[in-house]
Amino acid sequence: MATYFYHFVVALGIGILIGIQRESVYDEPEDKLFAGVRTFSLISLTGYGAALMADQLTSALPFVGVLLVFGVLLALSYHRDVLAGKPGMTTEMATIITFVIGALCYWDLILLAAALGVTVTAILTLKPQFHRLAHAITREDIYATLKFAIISIIVLPILPNHNFGSPPFDVFNPYKIWLMVVFISGISFLGYVMIKIVGTQRGIGLTGLLGGLASSTAVTLSFSQRSRSDPELARPFSLAIIVAWTVMFVRVLVIVFALDQPLAYRLLWPMGAPLIAGLAYCAYLYIRQRAYAKEDLAFSNPFELGPALKFGVLYAVILLISTAARVLFGNTGIYVSSFVSGIVDVDAIALSMVDLVRAPTNLDLSVATRAITIATLASTLFKGVFALASGSPALRRALWPGMALMLAAGAVVILL
């Protein structure tokens, strides 16, 4: 009996949650709405009760019968809305899902029911953001995303999942290489979508945060160049650039943690030291300015096929170079190759170190940790030098202390 009561309460709570969301977006009182808090609560309980009757009578007919009656009522309501010039079906679809959620609660699928309830509420609440995203996405974005989705979903499963080459250079695994391409591009695409939803005019610092997920290099190049035409925004541009750099360290940690937790734990302090230093300087810059972006910063869709293929080739080449450097020159060779590779792409070197740690040759965790740290600092140094060379004098004055602080924090960790 206690279990039944618990499921009943969960069904009621989810119905109330969705009902509150629906009622909150309208100014009319509940009696003028198709469904508000009370109606959604009753719908969820109806689904719960229908599942209960079906179980007690050991027949699906009661559940199907209630669902059909419910469907007829929805059809009549929708017909009335169409005649009234309101053809939308969002609320009607939400009521159907709420009915199903109530049934799932009885069937003891509580986690699934809760996930559906939260997802439905989020989708309904984020209507303006979804509309903004739909208007912001271009036809080229759709084509690029579809192309990458097709070659990932169709090509990835048919790629051979075994290593090619002679030991110790048997590091080419087409399936794993392309899987890493999908993984990295997925993270970049997340940042790109967030930029599309939120928009860069919300603030230069926020642009740096979201842009760091898509491409910290793009943020550095764009804001450095723009600092010459808008020198009065040097501090905000510096803030965005350093925020993007700090996101890079978080990004590396997330990537490594998803693939190899022991190595990720080793990286906490090496990635955390420059991250903390960067955040501290960001706080200083933020306190000194409150400026906002005048225009949107352009980011290309990270699902373009060309860059994805280039990353796959780069990842494979770095993996081969790192292996060869280790065989020929020991750990010193790995550190040198990490520095050079970090200038080009930090994600690729991080993934290659994960592969070497998990390979039969079993690269030592401390060596992999130091190599990834060197790569991130090399990337920061390269982007910093470019920003100092191409940015305005005001940008250089605002940027170099933060850059020096982050590099110094990382260097201390390497030396220790």
User: 73 with 193, same domain?
Assistant: no
The predicted pLDDT at position 31 comes to: 45
Question: Which residue matches tokens 């009943």?
Answer: 8
The predicted pLDDT at position 404 comes to: 92
Report DSSP state, residue 296: P
Query: Is residue 399 within 8 Å of residue 238, measured between CB atoms?
Result: yes
The predicted pLDDT at position 201 comes to: 47
The predicted pLDDT at position 24 comes to: 77
Instruction: Return the beta strands (E) in 1-58 as ranges.
Output: none
User: 86 with 143, same domain?
Assistant: no
Query: Nearest Cα to 240, choosing from 203, 194, 191, 193?
Result: 203
Query: Could you tell me if residue 131 is inside a domain?
Result: no
User: 108 with 189, same domain?
Assistant: no
The predicted pLDDT at position 292 comes to: 45
Residue 358: CB atoms within 10 A of its CB come to: 14
| Structure token pair of residue 239 | 């803030």
Q: Collapsing DSSP states into helix, strand and coil, what is residue 57?
A: coil
Residue 37 Ramachandran class (φ > 0 left, ψ -120 to 50 alpha, else beta): alpha
The predicted pLDDT at position 408 comes to: 92
Query: Is residue 11 within 8 Å of residue 105, measured between CB atoms?
Result: yes
Overall residue count recorded for the chain in this entry: 416
**Final residue before a domain boundary, out of 101, 125, 149:** 125
Report DSSP state, residue 60: S
Amino acid present at 242: I
User: 118 with 141, same domain?
Assistant: no
User: 116 with 141, same domain?
Assistant: no
Burial of 347 (0-12, 13-18, 19+ CB in 10 A): buried
Cα 8 to Cα 98: distance, rounded to the nearest angstrom:
13
The predicted pLDDT at position 398 comes to: 87
The predicted pLDDT at position 415 comes to: 80
Cis amide linkage into residue 167, ω under 30° from 0: no
Query: Is residue 312 within 8 Å of residue 185, measured between CB atoms?
Result: no
The predicted pLDDT at position 187 comes to: 55
User: 263 with 357, same domain?
Assistant: yes
List average pLDDT for each run of 10 residues in the chain, which is 416 residues long: 79 89 66 70 91 88 87 78 68 87 91 90 80 70 72 79 67 75 64 59 61 71 72 78 89 89 90 92 77 48 64 70 66 80 77 81 84 90 84 87 91 82
Query: Could you tell me if residue 130 is inside a domain?
Result: no
Amino acid present at 398: A
Query: Is residue 99 within 8 Å of residue 43, measured between CB atoms?
Result: yes
User: 267 with 311, same domain?
Assistant: yes
Question: Residue 78: which domain range?
Answer: 2-125
User: 69 with 154, same domain?
Assistant: no
Total number of domains constituting the chain: 2
Amino acid present at 279: L
- How many CA atoms does the CB half-sphere of 376 hold within 13 Å? 34
pTM attached to this predicted model: 0.56
User: 145 with 100, same domain?
Assistant: no
User: 121 with 144, same domain?
Assistant: no
